[in-house]
Amino acid sequence: MDFISPTKGHLSFDQVFAEILTYASEHPEDKYSLIVGTDSQLKDETCFVTALIVHRQGKGGRFFYTRRHDSYARSLRQRIFYEASLSLTVASLLTEKLADSGQELNLEVHLDVGSNGATKTLVKEVVGMVNGSGYLCKIKPDSYGASTVADRYTK
């Protein structure tokens, strides 16, 4: 899986993980969160962007993203569940790497669904899917990992 850093360019997942650990070790007294969120944009093809954010609470953060294009047309429901599954894939990779390294960081999955709009009927199901996988889940307006960071790179 290839990620892009706005400052460091193309990085492998292992390089991204190393960057996260380095960033968190600079100020070990601060609190950190790892956030994974995916958004999609439907045009001629569907662009899916998964953002991985290391947030130093109250002091900013760094992010990385991966982008994929899919020519298969999906319904809104299929896209939302696929976005969640892409986020869960990255979250599970992070969980595994954190366990191997002995590091503990809070991990959140941000979903591009909310109580208003076209996705309101999907909230319970997709949140249940993420919570059932063992991850803390945030929805709009608190899901900036998906609705702001990932969304920016889908266009």
pLDDT of residue 84: 98
pTM: 0.95
User: In the prediction, which pLDDT does 18 show?
Assistant: 97
The identity of residue 125, as a single letter, is: E
Give 10-residue mean pLDDT values along the chain (155 residues). 95 97 94 97 94 95 97 90 98 96 92 95 97 97 97 95
Residue 133 to residue 110: CA distance in whole angstroms? 14
Can you tell me whether residue 45 is helix, strand or coil?
coil
Phi, psi at 35, each rounded to 5°:
-125, 135
| pLDDT value of residue 40 | 96
- CA-to-CA distance for 3 and 89, rounded, in angstroms? 14
CA distances from 32 to 20, 46, 55, 136, 155 (A): 10, 32, 5, 14, 28
pLDDT in the model for residue 10: 98
Predicted pLDDT of residue 1: 85
Q: What is the pLDDT of residue 103?
A: 86
Identify the pLDDT of residue 2: 95
